[in-house]
Structure 1
Amino acid sequence: MAKILTSRVDKLLSSMGYGSRNQISAMGKAGQLRLDGAPVHDVSKRIAISANLPDRLQIAGELLDPLPGVVILMHKPLGATCSHKEDGTLVYDLLPPRWRRRNPLISSIGRLDKETSGLLLLTDDGDLLHRLTSPKHHVSKTYRVRLDRPLSGTEGELFASGSLMLNGEEKPLEPADLVAMSDKEALLTITEGRYHQVRRMFAAAGNHVTDLHRESFGALSLPEDLAAGQWSVLSAAQVAFITAQSA
């Protein structure tokens, strides 16, 4: 039988960004915490960390945020940066402010540069982050690429060869799959995540990327109805699915 994880109420809520333990204690005394409809005045009480806890625990009249281990699928907009510290708009600014205070931090699974849009995954699960970004798991990522000049027709063979060496690197790229959509547009699927990899691949082929948009990550595709800047929390089944894809 699987061991049931438990946590003190104040420790759990503090780690999820709701405030300090003293602030959580004050909320309990004020009757702002309710479990299954009953007030929780003693925040030292231990509760089971179950999948349905967010439906059972209310804080100031609102249901609990997603539990630790959350995975978020975001449609990253142009101009947002995958960083916790840089100036300008950060992808984390698109999440509820309280989520910026979670411990462990929510971090992006890999990065999309400031001028790249599309599917971005974020999580506070360090093991999952490592699994999905580790080169040995070969998780595929597909990008829609728009180019400054027409494709020459040789890029597909070059990218699939497994011999393309990027400037300043000592190891050739893993084979990648290119599908031409028009003379200046293509879909490129890679299984690595090197620095500015897609842009550098086309630069090595004598072209320049003008627009870059990630359409899929592993088995997940960007939902058509998810507008730039919007996000959704993945279900347990979706998380299990992408984890299995990286086994």
Structure 2
Amino acid sequence: MKSDRQLAKYLANLGYGSRKEVEAAIRRGRVTGEGESLRFDGEPVDPAPGMVILMNKPAGFTCSRQDQGNLVYELLPPRYLKRTPALSTVGRLDADTTGLLLFTDDGKLLHKLISPKPGTPKTYEATLARPLEGHEAELFASGALMLRGEDKPLLPATLQITGERTARLTITEGRYHQVRRMFAAAGNHVEALHRASFGPLILGDLPEGEWRLLSAEEISALA
């Protein structure tokens, strides 16, 4: 069992207020239970450090804490921004890209998932400005495609054509605006982009702009 001082520090690190504010909340009886049944104002306390959040990111939101305009962190409870260790996005989706976005406060997991080394497959659904010409799948799978301004070819990627101007692309790297630049290199332009999966994770029926906590099993599958 944690002492009141230890409990106050723990809750302050979860973003429930400053140490003094949490100590006052404890004295007033706003903190009840212990262990897995710990509650703050009657609500279950947020997960301990090591949590992972899956969000269905809407268009128009930036993966930043400081940029102007709408920020993805604004879609989470405000106290999540006060957590220690800090909560970070796992990589970035640009403002116009929608779909599966992860957040975590686990630095080791974050480093693994955003490592430049070939790793977690990510699948994107693209809507293009012009009809596909039929050569794109072979080009992307070749392992020889060079993006403008780079000196190392892309690893092979898998393209599935789903319509005249739509396709599903799976990549294992995370270079800057990679999917958009790949289609540009093939002579086309991405009008809309949606990330449908990240490794074993899929969005399922999670509504746009909503989020959920990953289970321990889902986190283990990522790690």
TM-score by length of 1: 0.86
Deviation, 1:133, is 1.3
Distance in 2 between the 1:206 and 1:134 partners?
29
Q: Which residue of 2 aligns with 1:98?
A: 79
Percent identity over the alignment is: 55
Alignment equivalent of 1:32, drawn from 30, 49, 52: 30
**Could you tell me whether the CA contact under 8 Å between 1:174 and 1:191 is conserved in 2?**
yes
Distance in 2 between the 1:59 and 1:181 partners?
48
2:157 paired with 1:167: no
Q: Where do 4+ consecutive residues of structure 1 move more than 4 Å?
A: none
Q: Which residue of 2 aligns with 1:229?
A: 209
Secondary structure at the residue paired with 1:212?
Answer: strand
Secondary structure at the residue paired with 2:222?
Answer: helix
Distance in 1 between the 2:18 and 2:118 partners?
38
Alignment deviations for residues 10-55 of structure 1 (CA, whole Å, 9 cap, x no partner)? 111111101111111111111212224xxxxxxxxxxxxxxxx3x4
Q: Which residue of 2 aligns with 1:58?
A: 39
Alignment deviations for residues 61-115 of structure 1 (CA, whole Å, 9 cap, x no partner)? 2210121111011000000110111011111100111111111221111111000
Alignment equivalent of 1:205, drawn from 159, 182, 186: 186
Q: How many residues are treated as equivalent by the alignment?
A: 221
**Could you tell me whether the CA contact under 8 Å between 1:148 and 1:210 is conserved in 2?**
yes
Q: Which residue of 2 aligns with 1:11?
A: 9
96-105 or 187-196, larger mean C-alpha shift = 96-105
Letter in 2 for 1:171: K
**Runs of at least 5 residues in structure 1 that lack an aligned partner in the other structure:** 37-52
CA RMSD for the aligned pairs? 1.5
Distance in 1 between the 2:142 and 2:14 partners?
46
**Runs of at least 5 residues in structure 2 that lack an aligned partner in the other structure:** none
Q: Which residue of 2 aligns with 1:242?
A: 222
Distance in 1 between the 2:33 and 2:207 partners?
35
Alignment deviations for residues 157-181 of structure 1 (CA, whole Å, 9 cap, x no partner)? 1111111111111111111000101
2:57 paired with 1:76: yes
